[in-house]
Amino acid sequence: MTNPYQAIYERSINDPDGFWGDAAADIDWTKTWDRVLDDSNKPFYRWFSGAECNTCYNALDRHADGGRGDQAALIFDSAVTSSVSTYTYKELRDEVARLAGVLATNGVGKGDRVIVYMPMVAEALMAMLACARLGAVHSVVFGGFASNELAVRIDDAKPAAIISASCGIEGARVIEYKPLLDDAIEIATHKPPRCIILQRPQATASLIEGRDVDWHDAMASAEPVDCVPVKATDPLYILYTSGTTGEPKGVIRDNGGHMVALKWSMKNIYDVDPGDVYWAASDVGWVVGHSYIVYAPLLHGCTTVMYEGKPVGTPDAGAFWRVISQHNVKVLFTAPTAFRAIKREDPEGKLIKDYDISCLKYLFLAGERTDPDTLTWAEEKLQVPVVDHWWQTETGWSIATNCMGLHPVPFKAGSPSMAAPGWDVRILDDNCNEVADGDIGAICVKLPMAPSSLPSLWNADERFKQAYLEEFPGYYKTSDAGYKDEDGYLFIMARTDDIINVAGHRLSTGGMEEVLAAHKDVAECAVVGVADQLKGQLPVGFLVLNAGAVIANEDVVREVIQMVRDKIGPVAAFKTAVVVERLPKTRSGKILRGTMQKIADGETYKAPATIDDPVILDEIDEALQSIGYSSARS
């Protein structure tokens, strides 16, 4: 018998116009569309062409004026400053309207770009929505990003203004942003005429007369402005993601399709209702922050939580439980790396008992592959469904997930379940043919992609086609590798460049990491393929142990090597592993396996711009040298 998920999924694939046209009824439009799906200029598909709308109006004004004005829209919880601020929908709408007035007074209008270079503060969310209110295109750059990388984004986006702050706070460290911003503008060819600077109490920035505007002074005299209608196909934002050439790719998100898909996802995937408290523990610099801190919860009339802090150390591994309990959080969405950090510091989950988290209904994980051991630990400690779901910066929302508000299906550890409605996911070989169930291949999406996915790259249509569409004609290349089982469940094993070739056998490093993570003393792990003259590549494991583990490092290494041999077999040729204090990661928590591989192979490398702490690479280098590998660091 067909269940609701199957029926809706099949309709979304066979009748996308009808399916997404119905979903669009939940959005307020100033002008309706001529076509739901416009395929007149393939492969540049567009959703809701001819329609006009405003994203800020749908996120704030219609709730502020439609019965939710006094409901909390935003809870800003700063663990690093021990403060909490709450804004109702009316209060948030009014702040955003005045900030839009500040931008307009400083020359920002419809279609202009604005770079937002902010820490995790409420004003960052306001800045994004103020741009959307004016029809301007925001481009959020992670606060504290290196000057050279920020300069590259300034030159690509050519902003009419930059919104920034005097500083950010990372744990106990105050990081001054203004010197980084000034250096970036000095490096950049494009010189933005205005910079609006939020002065935080922890650091005071020096302002440049004629260019820099004090946020608080400007807001004190600002006149609010109304929402400006834009085309549904106009860009809402540009979000830069790392490119394989080293040049960032400007992923575009449109207004109409973005709103429709995100609004639909809140109930059907996350099972939240208007008025519920939803917390995405991410950063506005990343796509999760855009989609599920800022836009989706507000479009749905929820209360969104914005958190300035860490899962551990601010002050301890109970930080998340305190936020859930204090703010009555129904759904938590975070990255697996956050839970691995919590598990490492508090393996028994003792700190959970200090808080009443009975309000929590679901935990959603995404951002990197969720190993079954972390998933099982979270299920046991939280006693709620733990939903692994898979998506990308380019897609803006889930490609594969268990639709908890639509029709949950049985969970399978290691799988984000099945393709979400709107996504026709296929597993292909190098010749663009579908592979058999259970066989690893390239995970691709048959065109057209669902609403909210990128229509192209900023000012780079040819690069868009080359990067995503050329290798598998008629498909979007996700650059992830994995397989489908006989029930249609997807298993995302690795990035395609993390599939290693050992003596002619294509093996997933993700599969090996699953085995390592199952060891009771391993908190985190990574496996990379390193060059070998005889076998082509050999896997090397990196192990981070739980806090308080008393087992000798050599014993752990010996045991995990045997575990891989038992679970995967001698074909894996897994014979080398090393214990390290920590793994190199991006600031979003993704492990830098490619950089680790270069170190092991003795290739010249440099610290990626997105790395959390470059010193970790020296530690990895030393650990590899201790087991016989050398490096050539630049």
Asked whether the beta carbons of 254 and 236 are under 8 A apart, the reply is yes
Is 199 in a helix, a strand, or coil? coil
- Write down the pLDDT at residue 4: 87
Instruction: Please give the average per-residue pLDDT across 343-347, as a whole number.
Output: 92
Dihedral pair phi/psi, residue 351, rounded to 5°: -70, -20
- Write down the pLDDT at residue 633: 46
Task: Compute the half-sphere exposure of residue 112: CA atoms within 13 Å on the CB side of its CA.
Answer: 23
- Write down the pLDDT at residue 449: 98
Which band of pLDDT confidence, cut at 50, 70 and 90, is reported for residue 630?
A: low
Output the CA torsion sign for 152, 158, 163, 166. positive
Task: Using the predicted structure, report yes or no on whether residue 203 has a pLDDT greater than 80.
Answer: yes
> Residues 326-336: pLDDT tens digits?
999 999 999 88
Instruction: Please give the average per-residue pLDDT across 515-540, as a whole number.
Output: 88
What mean pLDDT, rounded, does the chain reach?
92
Looking at the DSSP bridge assignments, the partners of residue 170 are 173
Residue ranges of domains in the chain, CATH in brackets: 4-309+389-482 (3.40.50.12780), 503-633 (3.30.300.30)
> Residues 149-202: pLDDT tens digits?
899 999 999 999 999 999 999 888 899 999 999 999 999 999 999 999 999 999
What is d(CA 336, CA 367) in angstroms, rounded to the nearest whole number? 7
Which band of pLDDT confidence, cut at 50, 70 and 90, is reported for residue 244?
A: very low
Instruction: Please give the average per-residue pLDDT across 281-294, as a whole number.
Output: 94
Task: Compute the half-sphere exposure of residue 557: CA atoms within 13 Å on the CB side of its CA.
Answer: 13
Task: Using the predicted structure, report yes or no on whether residue 21 has a pLDDT greater than 90.
Answer: yes
Task: Using the predicted structure, report yes or no on whether residue 243 has a pLDDT greater than 60.
Answer: no
pTM of the model: 0.85
HEC per residue, 215-259 = HHHHHHCCCCCCCCCEECCCEEEEEEECCCCCCCEEEEEECHHHH
Which band of pLDDT confidence, cut at 50, 70 and 90, is reported for residue 563?
A: very high
H-assigned helices in 306-385? 319-327, 336-345, 372-382
- Write down the pLDDT at residue 288: 94
